[in-house]
Structure 1
């Protein structure tokens, strides 16, 4: 039996002025328009690449904003609706209290997406919630078959048991699991990323129930200044282990690919055989330039045959290798961003460079 309906979703949760958090990959004030536009460009590219491959899926953007900011002359909401994306207004109910953790506050909004699909996803339906800095290079067909078999699809990051993930390693997390009554038979559970959250039928309800249990526990631990789940990813891993969900069955379809300029780079030929690329470093680089092609409906992006699309996208994201042309434009952009950050520190709040 094929799935009756497939949702493909991402979220955009904007930090309010005075309630900013730290997002190391971007490095700008998270309430600023420039910061938000970086993520909005990713969102447009995410949906456009999915629609090229998955035109029959139902695409959903969840946001806590009444209206999405425009990007230059591009009316963001109009563009998304034009390519077939439903925009859902969703409040941020999992917002952590002040000083809960030092970074990534808005990523807890992913838990609100889980709450939304716990109400929306019906029998023989599935939803795939992804980070917006992902691109689709193939159809969802393989992932759909996997979720039919397993009920969930997860991505195993492969982190070793001593590697600190938001201040906690896998051993630290397993101690918290045991405090919540989870028996692990002395095993150290694997760690799954939150860039892909996928479930079918009523499994989102089960996932939400365990996340809420872990969240209440964490809030109480925070009040008592004790070790807690620091991020939505920590909570998600607790829920997966509590529900005995398959851990890593999504790995043949998605990978976290680093294309850092002058730093860690794990891109390889094998990534051309995936379905989804998660590209954290490319937010300010490849996504920015591909966005300019996506908004032009006469561009090569919309004209290239589907079977050639992966090769077209690889030029923007440096997979399996950064081309000389990409190296040049990435280096120029890196200098520009560095200059912007320096000026932001020098100039008083509210003063522009053109003042």
Structure 2
């Protein structure tokens, strides 16, 4: 039986700029609302799937009732892989995934981020995995910086750990499908990479920076299946928009820029058991969710900001050769 798990660690906002205090609100509020929408979307399209919330702390009481109504199991797991002071300025909380991995006990677990929306049954996506570990292959060029290191840098680190030192594949952290028979191997390799990372940090050397870097190494020891036909990271910021009109063919939408917008807009429908969220057909659901996430029918103010972002990007691109000439 498949379990869908969402890990989320509560840490001091000073250690995670994504949790900055805004307008006096709990900095984790957008995450909890997004998580509830995410869990609800899995429950909507996969009613018999087990849902699991993995955290190092109890959720705020205003969300507990909603979690219970969705029949979500809470699993408290300490943050043992907390990076040392000065490790990184961003994404340190992502390393909590290493603790979440150690708590897996289901026959097969789909681990997703709090800002992943399920828009259909998981059957087709998971049916193609056939006992392998499901990962989302990212198409970063070998020299592009990926949260602190490039794929070429990662190849150097993989080589030091005994793997062939070419530019390895990089897998997104928003979705991992892990059958139980592969958990021990992935954990062993993750711990090896974590110990290696701490040693290099102490020595002031290049190191793995996020859970994506560590897991991209760890899963090299197991058979893999790419989830890309069913899962995509969809950016909807004003300056970086990657909506191509084919989103309805996917099963999971990862929407990193929509915690304060699209997920917040869907939240009232999620907590209303009589709303469209729980009753419409899949085509209508995708249309309404896509509208909330800014795929189409964007408000004029959002279209204006998106257009301005496009213009700024174009100006910077045109100015790039001039800047390069000035530095030679």
Do the structures match in fold with TM over 0.5?
Answer: yes
- Measure, in 1, the Cα distance between the counterparts of 2:301 and 2:119: 19
Equivalent in the alignment of 2:77: 90
**Partner of residue 9, structure 1:** 5
Cα 1:218–1:306 shift into 2, 3 Å: same
Name the residue aligned to 1:160.
141
Residue in structure 2 matching 1:267, options 239, 243, 259: 243
Q: Corresponding residue for 1:346?
A: none
Where do 1:49-128 residues align within 5 Å?
Answer: 49-65=41-57, 67-70=58-61, 75-117=62-104, 120-121=105-106, 125-128=107-110
Is residue 164 of structure 2 the alignment partner of residue 183 of structure 1? Answer: yes
Map of 1:308 onto structure 2: 284
Structure 2 counterpart of 1:135 = 117
Check the 8 A contact 2:186/2:222 in 1, yes or no: no
1:171 paired with 2:131, answer: no
What is the distance in 1 between the residues matched to 2:39 and 2:305?
23
Distance 1:181 1:328, change over 3 A: closer
Equivalent position of 1:42 in the other structure: 34
Aligned counterparts of 1:325 and 1:22: Cα–Cα separation in 2: 29
Q: Deviations over 1:241-284 (max 9, x none)?
A: 2x15426x1000100001113x1111122111000000001111
Instruction: Specify the alignment match of 1:255 in structure 2.
Output: 232
Q: CA deviation at 1:55?
A: 0.7
Uncovered stretches (5+) of structure 2, i.e. residues with no partner:
307-328
**Secondary structure of 1:127's aligned partner:** strand
Please give the secondary structure, in 2, of the residue aligned with 1:8: strand
Query: Following TM superposition, by how much is the alpha carbon of 1:58 offset from its aligned partner in structure 2, in angstroms?
Result: 0.4
Alpha-carbon distance between aligned partners in 1 of 2:304 and 2:275, rounded to the nearest angstrom:
20
> Which is worse superposed, 250-259 or 108-117?
108-117
Matched length: 305
Whether contact under 8 Å (2:136, 2:228) holds in the other structure is: yes
Displacement of 1:83 in angstroms is 1.3
What residue number does 2:224 align with?
A: 246
Matches of 2:126 and 2:293, distance apart in 1: 26
SS of aligned partner of 2:103: helix
Query: Which runs of structure 2 are paired with 1:139-150 in the superposition (5 Å)?
Result: 139-147=121-129, 149-150=130-131
Q: CA deviation at 1:328?
A: 7.7
Deviation at 1:240, TM superposition (A): 1.7
Q: Which residue of 2 aligns with 1:342?
A: none
Q: Does 1:292 align with 2:268?
A: yes
- Taking a change above 3 Å as real, the CA distance of residues 329 and 140 of structure 1, as seen in their structure-2 partners, is farther
Contact map agreement 1:146 1:153 (CA 8 A) in 2: no
Cα deviation, residue 21, structure 1: 2.2
Q: 1:38 to 1:232 in 2, by over 3 A?
A: same
Q: What is the TM-score when the length of structure 2 is the normalising length?
A: 0.87
Q: Out of 294, 302, 306, which is 1:327 matched to? A: 302
Counterpart contact for 2:235–2:257, Cα < 8 Å: yes
Distance in 2 of aligned mates of 1:329 and 1:46: 29
- Structure 1 pair 236–328 and aligned structure 2 pair: CA distance change class (3 A): same
Show structure 1 runs of 5+ residues with no match.
332-355
